[in-house]
Amino acid sequence: MKDLSASSNGSVAGWREWVSFPDLGIAGIKAKLDTGARTSALHAYEVEGFRRGGVSMVRFKVHPLQRSEEAVVVAEAPRVERRTVRSSSGHEDRRVVIRTDIEMLGRRWPIEVTLARRDRMGFRLLLGRTALAGQFLVDSGRSFVGGNPGATTKGGKDL
């Protein structure tokens, strides 16, 4: 029988982990790792498009802490596209897609993530299977394998 205790690169993650988006100035945000979801979604509001040097960009705000609007990060990223995403309830929504680096459990790699209002959701970030593929094996019985990094946001607020 094949050993399923680790992914091809030896890394196991829990069903929820602390991650960061260094290029967006988000030093710590709790993520739900959801292998049932294809697409990743980051809580974002006041999303506005603009052009810089001929490149389509997007500026948005993020509340990185669950159930809190105190900490605010203003971020900018190149816009990849707009994509229709279907929720688990069957509702379709057109969302902006960005590509940015994510850091989790000592590893950094680029992912595509959609921007969506997640105020009412349990996690401000949902990491889908496309972002996790080839990076980690998700152990649904574990949480916060990497611990709490005690990170701060770009604005200096403790998380």
Who wins on pLDDT, 8 or 32?
32
The pLDDT of residue 9 is 57
> Is residue 159 a part of any domain in this protein?
no
> Is residue 1 a part of any domain in this protein?
no
> Is residue 66 a part of any domain in this protein?
yes
Digit-coded pLDDT (tens) for 54-112: 999 999 999 888 777 788 999 999 999 998 888 767 788 889 999 999 999 999 999 99
Q: What are phi and psi of 130, to 5 degrees?
A: -65, -40
Q: What are phi and psi of 108, to 5 degrees?
A: -130, 130
> Is residue 126 a part of any domain in this protein?
yes
The pLDDT of residue 66 is 77
> Is residue 156 a part of any domain in this protein?
no
Tokens describing residue 18: 């602390």
Say if residues 24 and 100 touch (Cβ distance below 8 Å): yes
Would you place residue 149 in the very low, low, confident or very high pLDDT band (cuts 50, 70, 90)? Answer: low
> Is residue 152 a part of any domain in this protein?
no
C-alpha closest to that of 118 among 85, 156, 145: 85
Domain CATH for 92: 2.40.70.10
Q: Which helix (H) or strand (E) holds 132?
A: helix 129-132
Global pTM? 0.82
> Is residue 105 a part of any domain in this protein?
yes
Q: How far is CA 10 from the centre of its chain?
A: 22
Number of domains into which the chain is organized: 1
CA angle centred on 5, ends 104 and 20, rounded to 5°: 5
If you compute the radius of gyration of the chain from its CA atoms, what whole number of angstroms results? 16
> Is residue 144 a part of any domain in this protein?
no
Domain hosting residue 21, numbered range: 12-139
Can you tell me the distance from the alpha carbon of 73 to that of 77, in angstroms, rounded to the nearest whole number? 13
Tokens describing residue 3: 């050993």
